[in-house]
Amino acid sequence: MALFLLFEAANGYALFEAHGIDEIGQNTEAVRNSVTDLNRFGKVVKLRSFNPFTSALDALEQVNAVTEGVMTDELRTVLETNLPKVKEGKKPKFSLGVAESKLGSQIHDVTKIPCQCNEFVGELLRGVRQHFVDSVGDLKPGDLIKAQLGLSHSYSRAKVKFNVNRVDNMVIQAIFLLDTLDKDINSFSMRVREWYSWHFPELVKIVNDNYLYCKVAKFIEDKSKLSEDKLEGLTDQVGDEDKAKEIIEAAKASMGQDLSPVDLINVHMFAQRVMDLSDYRRRLYDYLTTKMNDIAPNLASLIGEVVGARLISHAGSLTNLAKCPSSTLQILGAEKALFRALKTRGNTPKYGLIFHSSFIGRASAKNKGRMARYLANKCSIASRIDCFSENGSTIFGEKLREQVEERLDFYDKGVAPRKNIDVMKSAIEIADNKEMETEEASAKKSKKKKQKATDEDDMAVDNAAEVTNGDATEDHKSEKKKKKKEKRKVDLEVETQDPSVDEGANGDSSKKKKKKSKRMDVD
């Protein structure tokens, strides 16, 4: 029985015919040994036909169909034109070797061509792949490599289904910048305090907040010019009238030294710069919360946006965090303490970045380790849901947060928490109901749009009909008026042509003339 081989290359379909299979005896070891030698393999397997793809897009479509086990029309034409025809009622004297069993079954169902996919055919296709460039005479080695590279990029891009809104790299950069800004704002605020304290040292004890201190320093500038007239403006800056009065009284009896106008301008500019950095830090935090709600909504609702972003940043990506077991996630960020404990044979750390969560702080000292382990377990579940689910929602994160709250009550008060399976069932039901509601809402919107479109079409048709009817009626009226005018002209001509008539006739004609003149006036 003849054996044909189907090879899906990056630049086209190739059909090979295997000769002397009976001599080899379909021995896998013999084929494996003959694959490396081109002279021996070339005598057994020879090229029958090669059909290149028309474009890169066509190559991508063909490869996607092959991986899904679907036979395209192009592949069917290649097989039917180059293989012997299968007669109905007779057993074919050949078979086709394929690499994908699903594709082989599809080919057999549609074309009745017998296909086989086994280890022996796999070894033959391995040899075909190794010596494909030498088998196809007009093909250059560089062309095949370029085609493979371009097809691999387009195929992987289509499989990944890249989503711009779920890029976790933006979260990693934002949390790094947020931490850097916190350090810079703190150091700059301390510099403003030290600088302005030479002029007004009593202000440090009255105003504790860094941002508020910069605002007040910018408003006051020179303490000698601060008087009761500026009480209202200072109250707006501070937010407390008593504190504003205290600042004014302290400025009157201040022990600070005077500063030159140039020094005051520099302090003023530096305080403004610190305020601008604080405002930008606030906007960056809002941006981080929105991105976390898009990328990892369940993790953010469970543990918070900042702690969740730090976990993603430390793991490298959301996918890496989802791959981590809960024991690794628990001590993520405490690697130095872990290896130090292993080296010195001491106690290993109980928590890492997860310590910044409010749940760990609310737990008692003896239950912090147990709480960290339980919270890490729930964070691992939330990160996997966010990473691998297509529809982003906060339902599972909220339910997991409720479980953590119940666990806290169990440690403190002994209240038995709900079972995990019951909580997850309720979350799945809520998620399914929400999906149904969104689908119904989208269906209603589409129906409304269709109704609007049909109503607009009907209105347009009615308007067109009215316009045409109006034109027709106007034309009909104008024709009637023309006919009446023509009749009147004819009557007048007849009367002028008959002057010799009787008096009675004249009387009648005069009456008629009067009636006609009246009609003319009425018209």
What pLDDT is recorded for position 490? 59
Instruction: Looking at mean pLDDT, say which of 176-180, 229-233, 411-415, 461-465 comes out highest.
Output: 176-180
Nearest to 5 by CA among 131, 137, 155: 131
Q: Tell me the domain boundaries of the chain.
A: 2-160, 170-286, 296-433
- Work out the average pLDDT over 386-398: 86
**Does the pLDDT at position 206 exceed 50?**
yes
Asked which of 128-142, 155-169, 291-305, 412-426 is least confident by mean pLDDT, the reply is 155-169
**Does the pLDDT at position 522 exceed 50?**
no
**Does the pLDDT at position 171 exceed 80?**
yes
Q: Which residue has the higher pLDDT, 521 or 163?
A: 163
**Does the pLDDT at position 497 exceed 90?**
no
44-83: pLDDT as tens digits:
888 888 888 888 888 888 888 888 888 888 988 988 888 8
Classify each residue of 282-311 as buried b or exposed e, where b means 16 or more C-beta atoms within 10 Å of its C-beta.
Answer: eeeeeebbebbebbbbbbbbbbbbbbbbbb
What pLDDT is recorded for position 195? 92
CA distance 9 to 177: 47
**Does the pLDDT at position 483 exceed 80?**
no
- pTM (predicted TM-score): 0.59
CATH number, domain 170-286, options 3.30.70.20, 3.30.70.260, 3.50.50.60, 1.10.287.4070: 1.10.287.4070
- Work out the average pLDDT over 307-318: 93
Instruction: Looking at mean pLDDT, say which of 75-89, 147-161, 180-194 comes out highest.
Output: 180-194
What pLDDT is recorded for position 479? 63
CA distance 299 to 289: 12
Average pLDDT, the chain: 82
186-205: pLDDT as tens digits:
999 999 999 999 999 999 99
447-456: pLDDT as tens digits:
776 677 676 6
What pLDDT is recorded for position 498? 47
For the chain, helix, strand, coil in percent to 5 are 75, 5, 20
What pLDDT is recorded for position 193? 93
245-261: pLDDT as tens digits:
999 889 888 888 888 88
**Does the pLDDT at position 169 exceed 70?**
yes
CA distances from 379 to 95, 323, 327, 354, 395 (A): 54, 12, 11, 9, 14
- Work out the average pLDDT over 235-247: 89
92-110: pLDDT as tens digits:
888 888 888 888 888 888 8
CA distance 246 to 87: 106
**Does the pLDDT at position 399 exceed 70?**
yes
**Does the pLDDT at position 306 exceed 60?**
yes
What pLDDT is recorded for position 179? 93
CA distance 286 to 395: 22
pLDDT interval class at 489 (50, 70, 90)? low
What CATH number is given for 2-160 in this structure?
3.30.420.220
CA distance 487 to 313: 99
CB-side neighbour CA atoms (13 Å) of 154? 17
Place domain 296-433 in its CATH homologous superfamily. Nop domain (1.10.246.90)
What pLDDT is recorded for position 231? 86
Residue-wise DSSP of 181-204: HHHHHHHHHHHHHHHHHTT-TTHH
